[in-house]
Structures are given as structure tokens and as C-alpha cells.
Amino acid sequence: MQYFVAVAEELHFGRAAERLRIVQPAVSQQVARLERELGVRLLERTSRTVRLTAAGERVLAAARETLAAAARVRVVAGEHAAVLRIGVASCVTPRLDRALLRLREGDRPAVPELVSLPVPERLAAVRDGELDLALVRGAVADDALTVERAWSEPLHVVLSAEHAAAGKSVISLLDLDPRGLRLLARDVDPPMHDAILAAVPVAPVAPPAGDLLNLLFDVGRDPDAWTLMPAELVAGHRTERHVSVPLDPPLAVDGHLVTARATPGACVRSYVDAFAD
């Protein structure tokens, strides 16, 4: 069923094999075996496409429920404090610190293990079972994953300490020169990139700055540059070269928890509770 669900979600045997980290013939054999055992055709295959049959649609929903039930059995039968692998950005915020304490001392005690990865790799690791949970700011649309909103945090303007507006207590986006806007490269963090791009009144002129480290470096060395960052993330990367100023009117970005579809609902709710405001 795991192999069938992977193929059904990818609609491609090769990608399913990569996701499962096994050879493609093994995936094909196991799906064919499942079809023989059930006595129905689950997938229509051609040389170029794979699609679900009507029976396949029904079996996919039931297979996901069965895998989730199996995951619940493993949780119940497991150790008192299981390792919880969490995909995060490369900084520790007060929210993360507080959530880790809640997870260790909650009704379902866990031993958190933090793994720093860019967002695309973070999500792929959850899909592949290498992570139990990922934290992502901004919207995530992926039918293969469970995405739950857990918190909201304000966006702040981050400026060079030499910027003309660095001494203000609040800043309006309309008061900032759009030519100075710097953004992360979208492939580093698509949800955050899209959330910030949707918040600004104009498209950036300058090319993307790459990763977060290069973004902050570019802003810090250019007295006309600025960017938007979640307030909690700013606190984790504060330096003397930057100034963080609240927006007026305020803008916010939502934080999401991302788990595999098979993760039991009770576990997902406990994770959301740990990271919630």
C-alpha cells in the first residue's frame, strides 16, 4: 500500500521509486501484486502517463487511512519518548525553544532532533519519511502532505544601519524606495518568497540575493537596500549592521507545521499546540 500511495501521489513510477529509495521494478511489482490481491485495476498505465482508475481513487483513500492506522499502532507500541525529527531554518527562535520544551514535557513526550534544511529539501524529507515534521512560513500546497497553520508573526522591515529610515519607530512600505527591495531567491524558500512578494506594492528591481545569509549581507552593505522578514527570524539573525523596524500598517505571515499524510491526527494536534501562540 505504501508503494501504491507513492505512485498514486506522484503519478509516475520513477519518481515514486526515488521517493521510496528503491528500484523502479520493485515498485511496479508491488503495485501489480496489490492489484492481483484486490482483483481490480488501480492504475491506467501508458508509455507516457499514469492515472488512477475509479477503483484506484477509492483504494487510495482507504490506503491512506490504513497507513495512518498503522502509524498510530507504532506510536502506541513505541518507546515512551520517541525521537521527533524536525526540519527547521538555521536559527533558534524563542518560539522554537518554547515548543521544544512543550514537546519534551507534553502528554506524548518526544526527544526533538533539529535538522536544518532549505525549505524545498525540508518538504521533500517529510514526504520521504526522513523528517517527522517541518516548520514553514508561508503557504504550502501539497496533496501528499498535511499542512496546519500554527501561528502568525509580524513582518518587519530590515534595513542597513546606515539607511535614512533606520531611526524610525515604524515604517510604511509606501515610504520605501522599491529599487532598494531585496528578496531571497525563490528556490531557497518558495513559500516565504511568495508571501513577501504578495505583501509589497511593487515588484523588486534587483535580482534575488540568494540565501538568507547573502540577503542580509547585501542589505547590510547597501544604505539604500531593505527587505521584509518575519520578526522572530530577524531576532535570530540580529547584527550591528542591520536595523529591524515594525510596519505601519502591520503585515503578518503565517507559520505552518507540515507532516506526512500518515501522521496520526492526535500527533499533529500535539505539534500544533506546541508551536501555537
Instruction: Indicate if 33 and 115 belong to the same structural domain.
Output: no
**Chain-wide mean pLDDT for the chain?**
86
Selected residue with higher pLDDT from 210 and 89: 89
CB neighbours of 156 closer than 8 A, spacing ≥ 6?
228, 229, 230, 231, 234, 244, 245, 246, 247
Residue-level pLDDT at 213: 80
pLDDT in tens, 197-246: 888 877 777 777 777 888 888 888 889 999 999 988 877 666 788 888 99
Instruction: Indicate if 168 and 108 belong to the same structural domain.
Output: no
The answer on pLDDT for 94 being more than 90 is no
- How many domains does the chain fold into? 3
pLDDT in tens, 174-204: 888 888 998 888 888 899 989 988 888 777 7
Selected residue with higher pLDDT from 123 and 235: 123
Q: Residue range 110-126: average pLDDT? A: 89
CATH at 59: 1.10.10.10
Instruction: Indicate if 103 and 18 belong to the same structural domain.
Output: no
The answer on pLDDT for 167 being more than 80 is yes
Instruction: Indicate if 216 and 236 belong to the same structural domain.
Output: yes
- CA torsion sign, 2 to 8 to 13 to 18? negative
- Contact call for residues 99 and 262 (beta carbons, < 8 A): no
Phi, psi of 159, deg, nearest 5: -125, 160
Per-residue cell: 275: 508551536
Preceding amide of 109 cis, omega within 30: no
- Which of 132, 130, 135, 133 shows the shortest CA–CA distance to 119? 135
Instruction: Indicate if 195 and 125 belong to the same structural domain.
Output: no
Distance of CA 171 to the CA centre of its chain: 29
Lowest mean pLDDT among 28-32, 35-39, 107-111: 107-111
Q: What is the DSSP letter of 131?
A: -
b/e for 157-170, b at 16 or more Cβ within 10 A? bbbbeebebbebee
> Domain range holding 196?
152-252
74 — pLDDT class (breaks 50, 70, 90): low
